[in-house]
């Protein structure tokens, strides 16, 4: 590191001369000592300058929003900021930065501490801003105790090194410096990765570019000649991010992770003609920008909407920058901030089982796609068929048609991109201009549904009957929907009716068992009609009643659910004595295999699984038309799809099963397992039973172990007890021993354990709702300190 330590004689003077401050310091404006202070002010304040005066440190005013304590390039009119202390927390006039024995401290106008340098207890004697732009603090023996080069914001400068575990975080927008949506991180394992950040969380999310240097990457170096490369520990260059052939002496340089997620290098001619100078993107011939195309790079599950946010699409413009736009029928949620995504500006199709075909039309966009997140896929169909299928499906907002394939998407659709490399088209379903949501063509069917909703507070049975009635009417009055699916059940939902023979064939005579539970056996199968889609066929035994109506009504209720964290029901069979349910096949098995298996899955993936499961339950409890209480949340019932997204299965079945059966899951050897205490006490059961079970699953996810482990030490046998003890004794590290990633994220571990403790409160009314749980896990609301848990022996 290029720091020029003070000559010893000067140091001697500084430390021991009776008048050091006045003689040695005042003439060197780039050096600061104890007592140094700068105040944010609308009037010009004199910043601290580097000896060359090329860099300065002080307060910069950011529009009218406040001040940023920053380092900037001082000789150019742009005063480009290359580092800042309080990017997420602008301060107002009167705020101050001072240097004392513990380092630099920024306080706001009310003396509240906003930021301070973390010198890990090493004292600070003086500081300076170097000609490289590095702000450095030294201790009494002139060793570096803190430097801004080690705490980069979004920019790297020549001579700066990004070491393992360090990252750049893009700013939110061009002129908003707060932490934005992208992360450039040299992970502790040596892999250099670009991630999306899941707003407003801080967790890395979707990796859209990787150096693939796990195990070997050591540091990212930006050298004076403008080369940026990833080095191994022995100095070997593993990968160039940028390369130059000419001298860069006459240029200012910087490399920045920009607010669009692209890592770019810029140069600025020194002392050139001020009218023609300015920052120019520098790109070596042989190396594309990173990533080469941001629009198509961010595409996968969990990208938080993609390069441009939900319901929007991304395009690379002539200037090589991305543009975010809304499809026809959609407008920006926040026009001043396009990356927040788009919203429908028409009333969405309702799922009341009516015929809406003439109220909606399609707007077609060539070379456009919203990859991933489709919930249905058909092969060997034509465009007309694809449109019809989307039109008659209330969940379908966009259909992608390519080749002879058709994919259906629901809102919010993600990863939108328009690019010449894409074939096929997107068909956007929009409400026709003259079709008010009042539906003048509604007939008595709507009256029926209306009565149904008026009575929703009445008995469940009544509702089911009404639902069934509504469905039957819709079904018989609406022959059109019949043309679309071979065996539609109700328009607006996509349930297929299978014959027993069809399923017998699809499962090859119920050959391959996937699972076997108390009330059902699950088999793997393949559907011949569609592209060989894999299915899971659940054969139910022991039903409450053999009543066909009740079964069908339940199945329709399940079929109406549609959420990315639920396993989707495809269809059913209800023939003679046979009751079968047909689901999508989940390729990655159950959460139980995932977390109790031999290799511990990644902490961030586990957190996402917890969040996904919470979202799925929140949907079942509060967002679907009839509340569904799962009653049997456990890792075996949470499945993982191709992308390891958590998908809850077996919901909506509770009512189909005999009551005593759900109540037989009594505790084993004194553990309560996943089952909420109210089951044992014959108290009324509410959605809070699922919250309880979720709390236990959350602990298991955090610790990757079962709630009950007979081989564990006595005080650790029951995870919920042990976790509470660790939380209580402020010793959470014990819970995640040997899990480096979780250890490094111990604050979040604590938060998650607190959420779990809230969930497993004995008193159901104390437990949060799944909505609150979701918000706490996604860190949009704070987690309060949970109450004590009564000891388990006392609760039985
Ligand atoms: C430095 O200043 C901060 C804030 O004013 C104060 O909390 C801290 O104790 C001071 N440190 C020393 C060593 O004086
Ligand atoms: C910058 O963006 C963040 C994130 O949206 C927002 O919370 C903050 O208020 C913005 N800051 C300014 C100064 O506009
Ligand atoms: C910077 O790195 C490039 C590429 O490895 C090399 O050619 C050049 O000599 C280096 N410059 C300095 C000043 O080290
Ligand atoms: C519907 O109205 C909007 C605005 O009035 C117009 O831009 C759009 O072209 C119209 N669409 C059709 C299909 O008439």
Distance CA 593, CA 598 (A): 9
CATH of domain 154-289: 2.90.10.10
Between 791 and 165, residue with greater pLDDT: 165
Tens-digit pLDDT profile for residues 107-149: 999 999 999 998 887 889 999 999 999 999 999 888 999 999 9
Length in residues, the chain: 796
Give this prediction's pTM: 0.59
Q: Which of 161, 219, 223 to mutate to test the pocket of ligand 3 (most atoms within 8 A of CB)?
A: 223
> Is residue 276's pLDDT more than 70?
no
pLDDT of the residue at 31: 82
Name which of 55-59, 89-93, 132-136, 641-645 the model is least confident about. 641-645
Which token pair is 401?
Answer: 């048609």
pLDDT band at 17 (very low <50, low <70, confident <90, very high): very low
pLDDT band at 439 (very low <50, low <70, confident <90, very high): very low
**pLDDT average, residue stretch 349-378:** 83
- Residue 261: pLDDT band (50, 70, 90) is very high
Report how far ligand 2's centroid is from the alpha carbon of 746 (Å): 27
Half-sphere CA count of 207, side-chain side, radius 13 A: 12
Catalytic pick among 108, 355, 632, 650: 632
Q: Helix 746-759 vs helix 770-777: angle between axes, to the nearest 10 degrees?
A: 170
- 526: pLDDT strictly greater than 50: yes
Residue to probe by mutation, ligand 3, list 225, 239, 245, 284, most atoms within 8 Å of CB: 225
Going by CA atoms, what residue is nearest to atom 12 of ligand 2?
176
Ligand nearest to the CA of 428: 4
Taking the CA of residue 337 as reference, the ligand 2 atom at the shortest distance is 5
Q: How far apart are CA 415 and CA 205, in angstroms?
A: 14
Query: 150 C-alpha to center of ligand 3: Å?
Result: 22
Q: Tell me what the mean pLDDT of segment 492-516 comes to.
A: 85
Q: Cα dihedral sign for 595, 597, 601, 605?
A: negative
How confident is the model over 277-310, as pLDDT tens digits? 789 888 877 788 899 899 999 988 777 788 998 8
- Does 680 have pLDDT greater than 80? no
Q: Whose CA is nearest to atom 9 of ligand 1?
A: 102
Q: Is the pLDDT of residue 21 over 90?
A: no
Cβ partners under 8 Å of residue 95, min gap 6: 39, 40, 59, 67, 106, 107, 108, 109, 114
Q: Which residue has a Cα nearest atom 6 of ligand 2?
A: 178
- Considering only 7-16, 192-201, 529-538, which range has the smallest mean pLDDT? 7-16
**What is the end-to-end Cα distance of the chain in Å, rounded?**
63
Gap from CA of 181 to ligand 2 centroid (Å): 12
Q: Is 223 in the pocket of ligand 3 (CB under 6 A)?
A: yes
- Calculated CA dihedral for residues 353, 357, 359, 361, nearest 10 degrees: 130
Nearest residue to 201 via CA among 302, 270, 292, 275: 302
- How far is ligand 4, taken at its centre, from the CA of residue 325, in Å? 17
For residue 156, give the nearest of 74, 264, 235, 65 by alpha carbon: 264
pLDDT above 90 (res 166):
yes
Instruction: Give the Cα separation of 765 and 744 in Å (integer).
Output: 34
Q: Which residues touch 551 (CB under 8 Å, ≥6 apart)?
A: 543, 574, 579, 656
What per-residue confidence (pLDDT) applies to 451? 29
Q: 221 CB under 6 A from ligand 3?
A: no
Instruction: Give residues with Cβ within 8 angstroms of 177, minimum separation 6.
Output: 62, 68, 81, 84, 87, 153, 171
Q: Which residues are annotated as a binding site?
A: 539
Q: Which residue has the higher pLDDT, 44 or 239?
A: 239
Q: Which ligand is nearest to the CA of 434?
A: 4
The answer to whether residue 89 scores a pLDDT higher than 80 is yes
Cβ–ligand 3 distance for 69 under 6 Å, the answer: no
DSSP 88: T
The tally of CA atoms less than 13 A away on the side-chain side of residue 554 is 24
From CA 437, how far away is CA 350, in angstroms rounded?
9
Q: CATH number for the 591-777 domain, one of 1.10.510.10, 1.10.4190.10, 1.10.1200.10, 3.40.50.300? A: 1.10.510.10
Please give the distance, rounded to the nearest whole angstrom, from the Cα atom of residue 433 to the centre of ligand 4.
6
Q: Mean pLDDT over residues 529-543, rounded? A: 77
Whose Cα sits closest to atom 11 in ligand 2?
A: 176
Atom of ligand 1 nearest to the CA of 101: 13
Is residue 224 within 6 Å of ligand 3 at its C-beta?
yes
Query: According to the model, what pLDDT value does residue 717 have?
Result: 85
Q: How far is the C-alpha of 620 from the C-alpha of 499, rounded, in Å?
A: 29
Domain boundaries, the chain: 1-151, 154-289, 297-435, 443-484, 496-584, 591-777
Per-residue pLDDT reduced to its tens digit, 172-228: 998 899 999 899 999 999 999 999 886 655 555 789 999 999 999 999 999 988 999
Residues 543-578 pLDDT 10s: 655 556 677 777 887 888 888 899 988 888 888 888
Give the atom of ligand 3 at the shortest distance from the alpha carbon of 224.
Answer: 13
Ligand 2 pocket test: pick from 172, 197, 337 the residue with the most ligand atoms within 8 Å of its Cβ.
172
- The angle that helices 603-618 and 746-759 make with each other, rounded to 10 degrees, is 30
Q: What pLDDT was estimated at residue 274?
A: 61
Lowest mean pLDDT among 311-320, 459-468, 732-741: 459-468
- Ligand found nearest the CA of 117: 1
Is residue 29 pLDDT above 70, yes or no? no
CA of 297 relative to ligand 4 center, distance in Å: 33
User: Are both 154-289 and 496-584 of the same fold?
Assistant: no
225 lines ligand 3 (CB under 6 A): yes
Which ligand is in closest contact with the Cα of 197?
Answer: 2
What is the fold of 1-151? Agglutinin, subunit A (2.90.10)
Q: What is the CA radius of gyration of the chain?
A: 31
Q: Pick the residue with more confidence: 756 or 411?
A: 756
pLDDT of residue 201: 53
Q: Which CATH architecture has domain 496-584?
A: 2-Layer Sandwich (3.30)
796: number of Cβ within 10 Å: 9
Catalytic, 302? Answer no
Structure tokens at 653: 């079945």
**What local confidence, expressed as pLDDT, does residue 275 receive?**
61
Q: For the segment 373-410, what is each residue's pLDDT rounded down to a tens digit?
A: 888 889 899 999 999 999 888 889 999 999 999 999 98
3-state secondary structure of 536: strand
pLDDT for position 331 = 93
Closest approach atom of ligand 2 to CA 63? 13
Binding-site residues for ATP, in ranges, read: 539
Residue 711 pLDDT: 83
41 φ, ψ to 5°? -150, 145
Least confident of 609-618, 626-635, 649-658, 695-704: 649-658
Q: What is the pLDDT of residues 319-339, one digit of tens each?
A: 788 999 999 999 998 888 888
Rounded-to-integer distance, Cα 772 and Cα 278, Å: 49
Ligand 4 centroid from CA 127, angstroms: 63
Distance between Cα 128 and ligand 1 center (Å): 19
User: Picking from 49-53, 202-206, 571-575, 709-713, which range would have the lowest pLDDT averaged per residue?
Assistant: 202-206
Mean pLDDT, the chain, integer? 81
Reported as a pLDDT band with limits 50, 70 and 90, residue 493 is: low
Residues with CB under 6 A from ligand 2: 65, 90, 172, 176, 178
Atom of ligand 2 nearest to the CA of 90: 13
Determine which residue's CA is closest to atom 4 belonging to ligand 2: 172
Give pLDDT tens digits for 469-487: 444 434 333 333 322 333 3
Confidence band, pLDDT 50/70/90 cuts, at residue 688: very high
More confident residue, 80 or 336: 80
Atom 3, ligand 3: which residue's CA is nearest?
227
Among protein residues, the one whose CA lies closest to atom 1 of ligand 2: 176
Written in H, E and C, the secondary structure of 39-58 is ECCCCCCCCEECCCCCEEEE
In the predicted structure, residue 767 carries a pLDDT above the cut 60: yes
């Amino acid at each position: 590191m290029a720091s020029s330590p003070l000559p010893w004689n000067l140091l001697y003077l500084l430390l021991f001369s009776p008048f050091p401050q006045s003689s040695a310091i005042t003439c060197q404006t780039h050096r600061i000592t104890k007592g140094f202070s700068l105040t944010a002010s609308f009037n010009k304040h004199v910043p601290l300058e580097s000896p060359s005066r090329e860099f300065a440190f002080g307060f910069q005013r950011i529009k009218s929003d406040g001040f940023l304590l920053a380092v900037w390039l001082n000789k150019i009119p742009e005063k480009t900021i290359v580092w800042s202390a309080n990017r997420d927390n602008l301060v107002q006039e009167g705020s101050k930065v001072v240097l004392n024995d513990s380092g630099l401290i920024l306080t706001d106008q009310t003396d509240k501490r906003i930021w301070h340098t973390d010198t890990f207890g090493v004292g600070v004697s003086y500081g300076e801003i170097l000609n490289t732009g590095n702000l450095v603090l030294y201790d009494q023996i002139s060793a570096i105790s803190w430097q801004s080069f080690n705490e980069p914001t979004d920019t790297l400068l020549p001579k700066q090194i990004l070491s393992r575990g360090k990252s750049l975080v893009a700013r939110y927008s061009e002129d908003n410096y707060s932490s934005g949506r992208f992360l450039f991180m040299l992970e502790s394992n040596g892999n250099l990765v670009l991630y999306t950040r899941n707003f407003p969380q801080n967790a890395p999310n979707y990796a859209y570019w990787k150096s693939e240097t796990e195990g070997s990457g050591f540091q990212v170096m930006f050298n004076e000649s403008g080369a940026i490369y990833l080095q191994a520990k022995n100095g070997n260059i593993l990968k160039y991010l940028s390369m130059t052939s000419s001298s860069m002496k006459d240029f200012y340089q910087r490399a920045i992770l920009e607010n669009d997620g692209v890592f770019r290098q810029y140069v600025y001619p020194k002392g050139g003609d001020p009218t023609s100078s300015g920052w120019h993107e520098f790109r070596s011939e042989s190396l594309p920008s990173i990533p080469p195309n941001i629009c198509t790079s961010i595409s996968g599950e969990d990208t938080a909407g993609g390069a441009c946010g939900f319901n929007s699409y991304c395009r690379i413009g002539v200037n090589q920058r991305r543009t975010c736009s809304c499809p026809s029928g959609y407008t920006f949620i926040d026009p001043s901030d396009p990356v927040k995504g788009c919203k429908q500006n028409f009333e969405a199709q309702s799922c009341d089982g009516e015929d809406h075909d003439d109220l909606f039309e399609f707007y077609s966009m060539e070379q456009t796609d919203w990859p991933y997140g489709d919930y249905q896929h058909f092969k060997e169909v034509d465009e007309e068929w694809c449109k019809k299928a989307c039109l008659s499906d209330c969940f379908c907002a966009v259909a992608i048609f390519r080749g002879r394939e058709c994919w259906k998407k629901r809102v919010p659709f993600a990863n939108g991109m328009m690019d010449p490399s894409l074939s096929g088209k997107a068909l956007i379903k929009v409400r026709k201009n003259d079709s008010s949501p009042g539906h003048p063509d509604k007939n008595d069917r709507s009256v029926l549904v209306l009565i149904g909703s008026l009575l929703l507070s009445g008995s469940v049975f009544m509702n089911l009957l009404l639902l069934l009635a509504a469905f039957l009417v819709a079904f018989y009055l609406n022959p059109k929907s019949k043309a679309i699916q071979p065996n539609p059940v109700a328009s607006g939902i996509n349930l297929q009716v299978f014959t027993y023979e069809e399923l017998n064939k699809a499962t090859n005579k119920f050959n391959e068992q996937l699972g076997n539970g108390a009330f059902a056996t699950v088999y793997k199968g393949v559907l011949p009609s569609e592209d060989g889609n894999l299915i899971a066929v659940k054969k139910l035994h022991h039903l409450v009643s053999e009543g066909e109506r009740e079964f069908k009504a339940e199945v329709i209720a399940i079929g109406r659910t549609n959420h990315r964290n639920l396993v989707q029901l495809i269809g059913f069979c209800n023939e003679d004595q046979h009751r079968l349910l047909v689901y999508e096949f989940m390729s990655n098995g159950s959460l139980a295999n995932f977390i109790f298996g031999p290799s511990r899955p990644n902490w961030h993936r586990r957190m996402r699984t917890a969040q996904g499961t919470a979202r799925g339950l929140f949907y079942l409890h509060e967002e679907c038309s009839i509340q569904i209480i799962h009653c049997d949340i456990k890792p075996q019932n949470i499945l993982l799809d191709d992308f390891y997204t958590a998908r809850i299965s077996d919901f909506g079945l509770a009512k189909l099963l005999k009551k005593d059966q759900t109540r037989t899951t009594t505790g084993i050897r004194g553990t309560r397992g996943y089952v909420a205490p109210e089951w044992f006490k014959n108290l009324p059961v509410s959605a809070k039973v699922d919250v309880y079970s979720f709390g236990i699953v959350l602990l298991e996810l955090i610790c990757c172990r079962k709630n009950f482990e007979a081989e564990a030490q006595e005080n650790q046998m029951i995870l919920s007890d042990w976790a509470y003890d660790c939380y209580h004794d402020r010793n959470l590290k014990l819970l995640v021993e040997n899990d480096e990633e979780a250890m490094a994220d111990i604050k979040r571990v604590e938060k998650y354990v607190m959420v779990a403790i809230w969930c497993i409160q004995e008193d159901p009314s104390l437990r949060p709702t799944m909505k609150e749980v979701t918000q706490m896990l996604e860190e949009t609301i704070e987690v309060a300190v949970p109450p004590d848990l009564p000891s388990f022996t006392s609760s039985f």
